[in-house]
């Protein structure tokens, strides 16, 4: 990840990253160090798959710590009072209606690093998120989807 690019986070996303970083620094590092120490007792290090596995886990943990530190260094947190309710912005909770099926969904618009479609948290840079950004209640957003174009009417916006 490049530190030059601004990373937009909600306060909730910032806390999640800080918690993960703390977990990695305090719990995961200690667990990996214990695994490495214990694996040395299994014999020669050149033929020791437990030692190799523990070293690979250590590299992953340290890489993730560095990645999270870079994210935090480039982070801009969207404060609660900055979340718009008159138009879609990062942090907005948007209720939309699919104009073809009539189905309704509620999505939270977040930055890329917080996106989790399974939790209805979509990135402002995703096709749907990008189409919704700046729209107001009553506006229709057209989004290119694999089956053609989907049209979503903005039914509600809240923080």
pLDDT of residue 49: 85
Is a pLDDT exceeding 90 seen at residue 57?
A: yes
pLDDT of residue 3: 45
Say whether domain 7-78 belongs to CATH 1.10.287.180.
Answer: yes
Distance CA 153, CA 21 (A): 39
Residue 38 CB coordination number (10 Å): 12
CATH 1.10.287.180 in the chain, residue ranges = 7-78
- For the segment 29-55, the average pLDDT, to the nearest whole number, is 85
Q: What digits encode the pLDDT tens for the residues 81-137?
A: 888 789 999 999 999 999 999 999 999 999 998 999 999 999 999 999 999 999 999
Question: Which class is domain 83-158?
Answer: alpha beta
Is a pLDDT exceeding 70 seen at residue 4?
A: no
CATH 3.10.50.30 in the chain, residue ranges = 83-158
Tell me phi and psi for residue 140, to 5 degrees: -115, 130
Global pTM value: 0.76
């Amino acid at each position: 990840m490049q530190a030059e690019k601004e990373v937009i986070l909600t306060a909730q996303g910032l806390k999640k990253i800080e918690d993960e970083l703390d977990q990695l620094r305090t719990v995961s590092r200690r667990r990996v160090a214990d695994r490495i120490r214990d694996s040395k007792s299994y014999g020669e290090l050149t033929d020791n798959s437990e030692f190799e596995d523990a070293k690979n886990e250590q590299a992953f943990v340290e890489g993730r710590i560095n990645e999270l530190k870079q994210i935090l260094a480039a982070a801009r947190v969207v404060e609660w009072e900055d979340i718009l309710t008159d138009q879609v912005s990062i942090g907005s909770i948007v209720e939309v209606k699919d104009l073809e099926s009539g189905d309704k969904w509620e999505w939270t618009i977040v930055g890329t690093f917080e996106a989790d479609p399974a939790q209805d948290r979509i990135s402002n840079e995703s096709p749907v998120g990008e189409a919704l950004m700046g729209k107001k209640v009553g506006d229709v957003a057209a989004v290119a989807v694999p089956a053609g174009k989907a049209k979503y009417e903005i039914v509600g916006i809240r923080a």
